[in-house]
Amino acid sequence: MSPGLNVIPSADFRIMERGKPISLPSRSVFAGKSVALFGLPGAFTPACHHIHLPVIMAEYEAYKANGIDLVACTAVNDVFVLDAWRQALGISDEILILADGNGDFARGLGLLFDGRSLGLGERSKRYAMWINDGVIQHLSVEADPTLADVSSAYSLLQAFENWNRGETVASIYS
């Protein structure tokens, strides 16, 4: 993502609806909504599975209380793997799980990393983002994809609390 670019790229996600994969354009996900979006390197990977996503799930109501219309997660995995992950963790349907199978969305943001040395191929960097009506308001990207610190649910909630107090919150690009 270029430094001045703050509009969500056009890409098609896949989601499961009534047991079938369907296409969902990125514009329709983010238009007219305040969205907390979390980029995750991969379903079932240790930090995503045991740390990052469970805390996002636990803090869902806190996001709603802070004026967020939608909590969503995306990963460069196919829709079937992400659906199996949803089932394995018992992720509520209230959290939108967006399959970016080809990495088009992450690539459009400039947030792909090369995980070939780990046997993962190209993956999304780990990040937390706030989008308001399709415009990126805040982005925190982890320097190390195995950590969930600046991209954690807690960190983004703290940023919302600061915004609600009228404070400026800086984005973190690692």
Ramachandran region, residue 145 (left: φ > 0; alpha: ψ -120 to 50; beta: rest): alpha
Query: Strands 70-75, 34-40: parallel, antiparallel or unpaired by DSSP?
Result: parallel
Give Cα 113 to chain centroid, integer Å.
15
Q: Give 150's DSSP letter.
A: T
Note whether 110 and 129 are within 8 A (CB).
no
Note whether 150 and 128 are within 8 A (CB).
yes
Q: Give 126's DSSP letter.
A: P
Dihedral pair phi/psi, residue 67, rounded to 5° = 90, 15
Which listed residue (11, 15, 48, 150) is catalytic? 48
73 is catalytic: no
Give the residue numbers marked as catalytic.
48
